[in-house]
Structure 1
């Protein structure tokens, strides 16, 4: 490596320039600010200021001509349009004049220097290249300013410019710290977040707040190959995304076309950039929307595991040309890509691949959740011992115009905050309705799904407690269901957390028993009152009736051995209904009983509930088979 002095000599910097840059062994400290600021009446500085006003334009012209000999600086300048070049030259001239102003204060200078350092860092100018560029600027100053006439003032200027470099270094350091903090927060999210929507919604907020990024969006193509931005952050990003989706939607195909960095990144699996949207011919379709939004360059980062297809694209929009091309910025992008690639793969392993939901749709559905568009439908559960409907499961529906969306459609688009809102509003509706049914002479309890994330979030408990208090419903009218397939948050004492809910006087149910990875220990330790056998188990009866009924019977016996009531879900026909009655189930749920329906319709339906089949006289093939299997099981126990 060469020293700074060697670099100056190699660039043809004269001895006078070297003296200009090194009048003191080290940059002047801020504590000596009184020696170089507050000099409004200094004649020498007044004279230099006047000379700088006369020669600033010529100095800047020579400076930028000299930058052409510095590869890194030339590369940055070559990205700019003629208009941008004129602008940065005028800014440089103003800075030179301000630097020699006798009335310049330390506070004003620091503010200017940090702003300039931020600009240099964002456009990707490495610190070493900035030092080289300053050598070229010093030579230009000595070419046009008489050193004999202004020697003392030039010495003062050199000290100010040394301080300027120190403050610019502060701006570089701030951005570097901000990158590290963003990566730390995103790494933590990658470890603990299980939902794709929750992951990307928080990631875009973190990145959107970073100073080098003016806007951030994540998306995927839909089934037609149209790229859909799903979540975004930034003060102008919503207007930008709405504009391009209307005028120039991005398509992802095999041809390069004018699909921009997003299309190239999706097809190639490699990071793609537009270094300056203003003069990039491949960005013409989106230029009119990008530049007014303050987006001057962009980078598309494919998120994927090594060797796997791209799962999503992270788009970062930068406030200046350059698109994160500095050495530290490239390393930041690479780490970001790796962390999020593995994180998204993890969410897909847990929840499966979800379809792309456009950002505007996500925003609309999120708003609808907080309005009257959210309504609960109810599916009855038939008690096989009494032949009565004593419980209904509340299932969310979302009215979007003429469409009534089911959970399978809108759940994948929800963030953790949306799910909390859904739980709160859905629970309030269900408890209020249960209270109304009770007053109408139908003592029907309601069952509501409790997401596993609720066990690590005290807000769910407080919402439950408040809803019971304000609804007028008795606690024992509520059952909370926890999916067996849900992975509970790390570090959470599940039995203890569920015990808090249990202490409210409610019932607890484990949903979808047999579909996940529950252990006998979990079933024994967690205070569940009932277990629900997964519908996918009984749906296999068409392929293998005997094995399906045997497995169902064993799960019923398991639940009873742990002193739990057993619900069998997914009962779609009379044959399976008769079979599970014979096998000893306590409660059944499914289309053979009733479809989910609005509260008003269910009130009418409950006046004439279906009857329970006679276990002593099976009339269907499945009922007969169940009776035979039960007899065989009892014979083995004798």
Structure 2
């Protein structure tokens, strides 16, 4: 809605234009009452419309000359190409004639005004300048139209133009409300999102729906300094990204490919705009990719905390020249930059710096998760008491062409929705395989990783419940592993959530014990059946054998004191295998036993399960050291 101050401002500007716009506004308009529409048979308005059509070119030219005196309008006009200026003038001529047309209806006028208001707001024309431009247009009309011949009709036109301004104000208000909503949604994301991929994937979707933005993308340079767009949104963004990847990759060094907004924003840490891609000489390498998909201006926003290096660049592409340069738009960009800078820093504190994964790879891997490209490999766990293998851990692999990707390669590129797909398909595959092994005479419990985010998302529980029913597998043949290093969702009762899974009849394991921040309370209260000592602990045995074995022993004792079975991961040689037998571990997992393998290979491997070393008569250096440590520990207890 137009405010009282705006109305006063408009009236003051109009009064300065000349007598035409002030005294005549009080003259009774043409037609019945004070109606502005439904005047198709009015001769005075028809005569004015004809005069407008005759003088439209001169009026618009005069109008443009006047706009040069308005700083915001001049900034926009200075960046337009001659073709764009001709097009703008053509639109303004048609618009002027439409406003004076006797057959104009209120509905048509309102729709046209809101479209124009939206366009003026997007190009960054401040509301105050739009009001001033209204006065400039009135002056141009006054100069070329005979007021004595068309006085009453001009009064009607003036009223229509005032109404036009009010409806344009409505468009400005809509966009301002939309900006506030965008910032609110992104602020909420910043508080609750712990993954870089989740954060930027949802941010680009929110921004891609905003009316001022035709496309957006977030990215970072790779190790070679080539900027890689990681996630994007917009109906034509994929064509644009494909075009620049093929013809003019962006770099962040000092080469020619770094002179656009993205490269300069990365180096400087400041927001960089291209007000018109068609006229900006620094956008020449990317112009052929941008203009055909409707990107006419752009802005590169470095995302960083104050005083810190840039972590990523948010690129916004606008459908018209201007690139978010209005006062409200500049404030919007500044708040957006601050919120996302702190949010990305937060994800890095939780998960560390993630590798740069191009948008095309992210999209391809996300699609592959829903196909047969997802393959579960299985690593056996050796029971150190019985010498049997009764459990295997299912580990995801992704076939990407000739490459078989391990989790460390494609996990950083996955969103929360991708992880749900991965869990669902991986669980179904593992349970189906468990049934096949049982039919072949091997009763193997299958262990599957459950992401911490699952405890705040009921869909994971439903997926687990349905998968068990669909497979027909006995629930006790399934173990779900929860990483100790994962931060659980805020406000979630972990014990209560895991108890729901436990009620299905499955087993629960805490993975990577010793690498995170589990409290004794959590270990005691959460219904874990077993704990797994993190591989990074035993991997230190080469640097400090005694301390590594001592810490491993303490964790084994901790697990047993809480009535949990203890698995030691990362066992890669006979000496460490013998040592954990001596120290009292229940189960061992690692390359010395077997590497992860496809299901069909595991069936063959089961015929040659390695033997368990004799913990009572150690024969390796580590086994002997573990026995000595055990003796010392027992002496301290006596």
| Pairwise TM-score range, normalised by the shorter structure | over 0.9
CA deviations 1:559-604 (Å, max 9, x no partner) are 1111111100011111111111111101010011110001111110
The residue aligned with 2:173 is 173
The residue aligned with 1:550 is 550
Question: How far apart are the structure 2 equivalents of 1:99 and 1:389?
Answer: 84
The residue aligned with 1:426 is 426
State the Cα distance separating 1:9 from its structure 2 match.
7.9
The residue aligned with 1:635 is 635
The residue aligned with 1:84 is 84
Q: Look up the SS of the partner of 1:292 in the other structure.
A: helix
CA deviations 1:318-358 (Å, max 9, x no partner) are 00001100001001111111111111111111111111111
Indicate if the aligned counterparts of 2:277 and 2:283 stay in contact, CA closer than 8 A. Answer: yes
Indicate if the aligned counterparts of 2:14 and 2:21 stay in contact, CA closer than 8 A. Answer: no
Question: How far apart are the structure 2 equivalents of 1:34 and 1:349?
Answer: 65
The residue aligned with 2:489 is 489
State the Cα distance separating 1:257 from its structure 2 match.
5.9
TM-score (normalizing by structure 2): 0.97
Indicate if the aligned counterparts of 1:398 and 1:406 stay in contact, CA closer than 8 A. Answer: yes
Cα distance change of structure 1 residues 253 and 7 upon mapping to structure 2, 3 Å threshold: farther
Residue from 17, 33, 50 that aligns with 1:13? 17
2:399 maps to 1:395: no
Structure 1, unmatched stretches of 5+, are: none
2:12 maps to 1:4: no
Higher mean C-alpha deviation, range 602-611 or range 258-267: 258-267
Higher mean C-alpha deviation, range 46-55 or range 499-508: 46-55
TM-score (normalizing by structure 1): 0.97
Indicate if the aligned counterparts of 1:196 and 1:344 stay in contact, CA closer than 8 A. Answer: yes
Superposed structure 1 runs of 4+ greater than 2 Å apart:
1-10, 15-20, 254-259
CA deviations 1:287-337 (Å, max 9, x no partner) are 111001100000000111111111111000000001100001001111111
In the TM superposition, 1:432-511 aligns within 5 A as 432-511=432-511
Indicate if the aligned counterparts of 1:258 and 1:283 stay in contact, CA closer than 8 A. Answer: no
Higher mean C-alpha deviation, range 351-360 or range 256-265: 256-265
Cα distance change of structure 1 residues 529 and 83 upon mapping to structure 2, 3 Å threshold: same
Indicate if the aligned counterparts of 2:495 and 2:526 stay in contact, CA closer than 8 A. Answer: yes
Question: How far apart are the structure 2 equivalents of 1:255 and 1:395?
Answer: 43
State the Cα distance separating 1:16 from its structure 2 match.
2.3
Indicate if the aligned counterparts of 2:251 and 2:257 stay in contact, CA closer than 8 A. Answer: no
C-alpha root-mean-square deviation of aligned residues, in Å? 1.8
Question: How far apart are the structure 1 equivalents of 2:356 and 2:137?
Answer: 51
Indicate if the aligned counterparts of 1:258 and 1:282 stay in contact, CA closer than 8 A. Answer: no
Structure 2, unmatched stretches of 5+, are: none
Indicate if the aligned counterparts of 1:23 and 1:158 stay in contact, CA closer than 8 A. Answer: no
State the Cα distance separating 1:194 from its structure 2 match.
0.8
Cα distance change of structure 1 residues 597 and 84 upon mapping to structure 2, 3 Å threshold: same
Q: Look up the SS of the partner of 2:608 in the other structure.
A: coil
The residue aligned with 1:38 is 38
State the Cα distance separating 1:401 from its structure 2 match.
0.7
The residue aligned with 1:338 is 338
Q: Look up the SS of the partner of 1:607 in the other structure.
A: helix
Indicate if the aligned counterparts of 1:7 and 1:132 stay in contact, CA closer than 8 A. Answer: no
In the TM superposition, 1:180-329 aligns within 5 A as 180-255=180-255, 259-329=259-329
Indicate if the aligned counterparts of 1:258 and 1:285 stay in contact, CA closer than 8 A. Answer: no
Indicate if the aligned counterparts of 2:194 and 2:347 stay in contact, CA closer than 8 A. Answer: yes
Question: How far apart are the structure 2 equivalents of 1:514 and 1:65?
Answer: 73
